[in-house]
Amino acid sequence: MALTAVGALVISGCTAGGGEENNDDSGLVEGSSITAAWNQAFYSMNGNTSFGNATANNNINYLVLDGFNYYDNTPELVKNESFGSYELVSEDPLTVKYTISDDASWSDGTPVDAADMLLHWAANSRSLDTPDFDPAEFTDPDTGEFTESFPTDVVYFDSGATPTSGLGLVSETPEVGDDGKSITMTYDQPFVDWELTFAGVGAMLPAHIVAKKALELDDNEAAKQAILDAIQDEDAAALAPISSFWNSGFNFTEMPDDPELVTASGPYMISDYVADQYVTLTANPEYAGDNTANIEEITIRFIPDPLAAVQALENGEVDIIQPQATADITTALEGIDGITVNTGLGGTYEHVDLQFDQGRNPENIFSNPLVREAFMKTIPRQEIVDTLIKPIIGDDAILRDSQLFVPGAEGYDDSAANNTSADYAEVDIEGATALLAESGVTNTEVCILYASNNPRRVNEFSLIQQSANSAGFNVTDCGSEEWGGLLGTPGAYDASLFGWQSTSLGVTNSLPTFETGGINNLNFYSNAEVDEIISQLNVEFDAEAQIELQQEMDRLLWEDFYGVTIFQFPEVTAFSDRVTNIDASILAPTIFWNAWDWEVTDGGSEE
């Protein structure tokens, strides 16, 4: 899962251009450029961390960091063999070999190799982490980032990996082979989604840059060797600064002074970044893969207001938008000539999560199940759908009644019928008031985190606040433009309102949200029964059994008063006639999944 990214400041400038001349046989048009809009500013080139795992980051990381596979818009998983190949060596024990192509290199000319893969394994398995270290007290509640007091002698990769799933099941250091171009990983037990666990497009970072910065080295090859030595020797003294830099060294909110921090392996590389305004991506001259860029320069402007994005499209300031859909948006787009508009339901769903532990309220209000149940009874789910979503898509606007299943998917109807979601279809202020009184809680403050510059979220917050306050809660405003980085930060808020966007079709896609200690478990939820079901799902290859396990898990989540799901996002994509090959995917990164195929036409307006 990836956080649905929303929020940033409205910007101006950076208009679209065009070009005529082919630069080479790759299809790249020299001097060509287009501009897309997104609704939250980029802030990290490492989308593998709990801090950086947001769509706003991963849209861009997808284009600058190459990998072994990606989803097209069918959606089907595509093997990216021009970057590297992988093979199932053995099913028992599950053993997989990954081999990097001889043509794959970083934008500074350094080959991609086993050092990069081994660092990715170490970070995303956490097999070498210092045992039992808890980073909570070293996390800034105002930013979500680690503080300067974070201990320097601790090995801690902030990937949220757990020892029961994904790369966490590869506890032994992979074997390096083929003159440093391959690694072979052996799993501790079978894992149903093994093909999705390792280094997809947008994930793997340059090991030599990490080592150079963390260990103060100058030579690229020496830096790669230092990564190999540190991991293979389990050298905690070297791994501590390596993990620290991996966690936060690629976080930046404007163009970094050090150009090595934007070292890329994908078809594009970050060439300019103006804070809160735009990121510019330029075709990577060192890229030799199949997904070569057609357009030399793509600028992504940050426009949080959907109507402002529509206005920018109408003015020719941007060529592609996918704003958060509202009734006003669809009406405004109808009046614009020279554009194409595509609509439908997307892969993102809205929800409210309650902090089971380490909330802002000093009484840790939602540690009490009576209070959780009471608050869920006050959330006006149907009113939100009727008021904010139905005007956009009519009767297709329905409540989502499952934490795991998408409406219409196999297993959804039975799961919704057998969990307790129906208890929260309508508000029950009387019932909520009684439960709150029974709980004995004296401090009823609930501070809700949401994107404060997102109009729809502002409206949702207002509806929830009014309803919950009528039952005796004191709902306060923890809204922030920097909400994404604050998610999961201890002491920052009591409940959160945001969306999860699917990144794969894997059975285990949503499990890190609910597994104890999982990377997307941002509300400190823990249930031994749920963890056991997750362990079973990790190794269950039978489709019918998978559905049954997920239905049982869905029931437990609702009975634990985890929080509520609200609706599936309506999705609107609009683009100018001057750009072609725009065909969004339901999975992240939606419109950007084939940005290397975009082309500028001869027609249309230019500025």
Count CA atoms closer than 13 A to 365's CA, side-chain side: 25
How is residue 61 written in tokens?
Answer: 């990381």
Work out the widest C-alpha separation in the chain, in whole angstroms. Answer: 73
Q: Using N-to-C axis directions, what is the helix angle for 236-248 and 220-232, rounded to 10°?
A: 120
How is residue 459 written in tokens?
Answer: 């409206």
The one-letter amino acid at 160: G
Q: What is the pLDDT of residue 65?
A: 98
Q: What is the pLDDT of residue 145?
A: 87
Task: Describe the strand order of the beta sheet including 94-100 as a list of residue ranges.
Answer: 84-91, 94-100, 182-186, 175-177
Q: What is the pLDDT of residue 393?
A: 83
From CA 475, how far away is CA 464, in angstroms rounded?
Answer: 8
3-state secondary structure of 399: strand
From CA 41, how far away is CA 7, in angstroms rounded?
Answer: 7
Q: What is the pLDDT of residue 327?
A: 81
The one-letter amino acid at 594: N
Contact of 79 with 67, CB cutoff 8 Å: no
Contact of 89 with 105, CB cutoff 8 Å: no
Q: For residue 97, what are the β-bridge partners?
A: 87, 184
Q: What is the DSSP string of 187-235?
A: -SS--TTGGGSS--TTT---HHHHHHHHHT---HHHHHHHHHHHHHTT-
Q: What is the pLDDT of residue 172?
A: 97
Contact of 51 with 145, CB cutoff 8 Å: yes
DSSP at 389:
I
CA nearest neighbour of 116 among 1, 207, 200: 207
> Which residue, chain included where needed, has tokens 């808020």?
493
CA nearest neighbour of 44 among 23, 21, 64: 64
Q: For residue 307, what are the β-bridge partners?
A: none
CA nearest neighbour of 201 among 79, 366, 26, 43: 79
How is residue 199 written in tokens?
Answer: 């280094």
CA distances from 276 to 7, 302, 313, 560 (A): 10, 7, 19, 39
From CA 216, how far away is CA 242, in angstroms rounded?
Answer: 11
SS3 helix, strand, coil % of the chain, rounded to 5? 30, 20, 45
> Which residue, chain included where needed, has tokens 């270290």?
133
pTM for the model stands at 0.86
CA distances from 355 to 133, 360, 366 (A): 21, 9, 6
SS3 labels along 439-507: HCCCCCEEEEECECCCHHHHHHHHHHHHHHHCCCCEEEECCECCHHHHCCCCCCCCEEEEEEECCCCCC
From CA 498, how far away is CA 54, in angstroms rounded?
Answer: 11
CA nearest neighbour of 120 among 164, 65, 71, 72: 65
Tell me how crowded residue 275 is: count the other CB atoms within 10 A of its CB: 15
Tell me how crowded residue 462 is: count the other CB atoms within 10 A of its CB: 12
Count CA atoms closer than 13 A to 417's CA, side-chain side: 4
pLDDT mean by block of 10 residues, the chain; 607 residues:
31 30 65 95 95 93 98 93 97 97 97 98 97 88 87 94 90 97 97 93 97 97 98 98 97 97 98 97 97 97 94 97 88 93 87 97 97 98 94 87 90 95 97 98 97 92 98 98 91 96 86 90 96 92 94 98 94 94 91 96 48
Q: How far is CA 302 from the centre of its chain?
A: 17
